[in-house]
Structure 1
């Protein structure tokens, strides 16, 4: 499992995660929270190469506002 980053905002029904460094997961990678509960899948990678952003589409039943400030991981 690899750290994805922290959810910094929500936009257009997506959780926007700021990666800690240049490493990022591939599109389609499952995102989980600290309790290893699946929260969604990576749908886009954008921004600066040195520290990109990742857009995560939440799974059904996941409330986006509850993800703000959470650390997510790639499984």
Structure 2
């Protein structure tokens, strides 16, 4: 697993993840929690090149507020 970053907030039905470094996942990549539960998929990457933000669309049944402050990973 590779760490994507930490969920810093929610906006417009998406989880906004602050990337750990300049190496971010591709759009469409599945992201999981530290419990290996599917959190959603990457829909956009934006912001500064060195540490971009990653927008994650939640999987069905995932409540966004529960993700804030948690790290997310790709498989």
Per the TM superposition, whether the score is higher than 0.5 is yes
- How many residues align? The count is 75
Deviations 1:17-64 (A, max 9, x none): 001110100000000000110010000000000000000000110000
Tell me the TM-score normalised to structure 2 length. Answer: 0.98
Residue matched to 1:15: 15
Instruction: List 4+ stretches of structure 1 deviating above 6 A.
Output: none
Q: CA RMSD in A?
A: 0.5
* TM-score normalised per structure 1: 0.98
- Residue 63 of structure 2 corresponds to 63
Structure 2: gaps of 5 or more residues: none
Q: Distance in 1 between matches of 2:19 and 2:37?
A: 19
